[in-house]
Structure formats: structure tokens, C-alpha cells
Amino acid sequence: MRSIFSLWLMLAVGISFAQQDSQFTQYMYNPVNFNPAYAGSREVLSIFGMHRTQWVGLDGAPVTNTVSVHTPIENSNVGIGLSFINDRIGPSDENTISVDFSYTIYTSDYYKLAFGLKATANLLNVDFTKLTQQPGDPELQYNIDNRFSPNIGAGIFWYSDRSYFGLSVPNFLETKHFDGGDNSVAKEKMHYYLIGGYVFDLSPELKFKPSVLTKLVKQAPLQVDFSANFLFNEKLTLGVAYRWSAALSAMVGFQITDGLLAGYSYDAETTKLANYNSGSHEIFLRFELFKNYDKIISPRFF
């Protein structure tokens, strides 16, 4: 089996490598990872955890774990959030801690507009001894140990109980985590996120929830995720997704209790990479604390 260490080496050494943010198939359940304006928008204390194992069977493939907490501040227009992401791929191990702040105003009787700010601390470790390399390669002699880099980001989120639209840049600063003269490895680039979705009532028991996420990064292919979820009796969610020129996905979710939602997705690659892995798995839990009347007054389906 081809090792991703060799693939990573070909990509990272001798060329400039544009580091990508973490990738999620079920992005619609936790946009706060890339858009700080989402913080507090669910109007309850929301705790979210997700584990993603990508390209199973391929050595050194990405593994991502994330936990986030966000909540509105009572009797104010302010929302706050805290999130942690651990991203491991090949020889790299990256930890990111973010603090989110949002401020929301009403634009009509049904729609709100939130403005968000994100402050991030990033710690990067790279163990070059895990790579297949030429003996004595001067650019790979020294590992990267807890390389710290700060960042800032911003976003807007316009939403009602049934629709949403967001635009964000979670990292404004372009940071070089490693510099080898004319070459650079793990260079942080600006990511532009555009997200949107709507909830259609097909019947009293069935809702249709399409959504789209577009990610644009300089010197990287445009990434577009199309998703279509069906919600049955406000309990069971079944859906499919397509990542443009990359993967097909199946999704399932279940509202275990009023405050606990669980979900799972499976991605099947549509590229030549499918020859070297058996797909990607993603599982999440979302736990929310609210008073009984809150759910009745302000139902939310995303």
C-alpha cells in the first residue's frame, strides 16, 4: 500500500505547501469552527464533539477531533464560544484553540444578522523522521516542536428559524510554520467560507434541509460541498452529500432526547485516491441545555 508519508513528502518538499483547515462532511451542525458569528445563534448552551477518520487504510491519513462550546449571554445581543481542534496527518500534529465572540441585531421580524470575531492560538508539531527522505537532507534535519502562531478571523451570519447564510475568514494572518529558504512547508493561507441553507416543510412530519458550503483558498482547488438532509418527525435525519470532484457521502442523525443529537457520515472517494483507502468516517454528538419553553418558542432545525 502506498504510504501517505511519501505523498506528503512529494507535496511538501521542494514546493510551497498551502495548509488546509480541517474538513468536515457534517459542517451544517457546527459552523462555529469556521464562522465565529454562529456563536450563540442557537439561543442555548450548545456543546459539540466530533471525531473524523479520513481515508481509512492509508498510512498517516488525517484524523481530526474537535470539541466546541458556545452560548448566548442572557439579556444581551452577545454570544461567546470556545473550541479545540486536534488535526493529525502524516508527520504533523496540530492543536488549535479558538475563542469566538458574536454580536447580533434584528434586521426584520424574522431575520437576525450576527457579526463575529475569532481569536486563535495554534501549536504545530512535525516529526520529519516519519517521512521517507534522502539521507542528510538539510531541510528535514530539525523537527518542529510546539511552533506557536496566533491568528484572528471574522464572519457574518444572517439567519431565521428556517434559513441561514454565512461568510467568514477564520484566519487573516498567513503564517509560515516552517521556512527552508526558497521553500516553505505548512504555510497557513487565508480560507474564505460561504455557507447557506434552508428548511422546507414537505409535510407535517417531513422536512427537507438542503445546504451548501464553499471554501476558497489561494493556490488550492475550489471546494464545494452540497448536502441534502431529510428530517422525519423531528427525530430521524437521513441525507446525502457530494464534495465536488472529491467524494460522495451518506449521513444519518437521530435526536435521542430534546437536548441530545447524534450523527454519523461515511464518505466514499470519487478520485484515484479511492484505490488506496476504504473511505472516511465521521461521528458527532451535540448536547444542549435549555428550558422547556425555549424549544417551543424558537424551534431550530440546523
CA angle at 12 for the pair 20 and 8, rounded to the nearest 5°: 80
For residue 76, what is its C-alpha cell? 444581551
How, if at all, do strands 183-188 and 223-232 pair? unpaired
Instruction: Write down the pLDDT at residue 291.
Output: 59
Note the pLDDT of residue 1: 43
Low-confidence ranges of the chain (pLDDT < 70): 1-20, 131-142, 176-187, 291-301
- Encode pLDDT of 93-117 as tens digits: 999 999 999 999 999 999 999 999 9
Taking only the tens place, the pLDDT of each residue in 178-192 is: 555 444 455 678 899
**For the chain, which residues make up each domain, given as ranges?**
22-289
CB atoms within 10 A of CB 73: 11
Which class is domain 22-289? mainly beta
User: Is the CB of residue 173 less than 8 Å from the CB of residue 150?
Assistant: yes
CA distance 59 to 55: 9
pLDDT of residue 256: 95
- In a 3-state reduction of DSSP, which class is residue 234? coil
Question: If 0-12 CB within 10 Å is exposed, 13-18 middle and 19+ buried, where does residue 300 land?
Answer: middle
**What is the value of pTM for the model shown?**
0.88
- Helix (H), strand (E) at residue 8: helix 4-12
Please give the pLDDT value at position 102: 98
SS3 category, 295: helix
The pLDDT of residue 138: 56
Question: For residue 92, what is the DSSP state?
Answer: E
The whole-angstrom separation of Cα 199 and Cα 127 is 45
Cell of 180: 527552508
Measured CA to CA, the distance from residue 94 to residue 111 in angstroms comes to 37
Average pLDDT of the chain is 86
Integer Cα distance of 126 and 141 in angstroms: 11
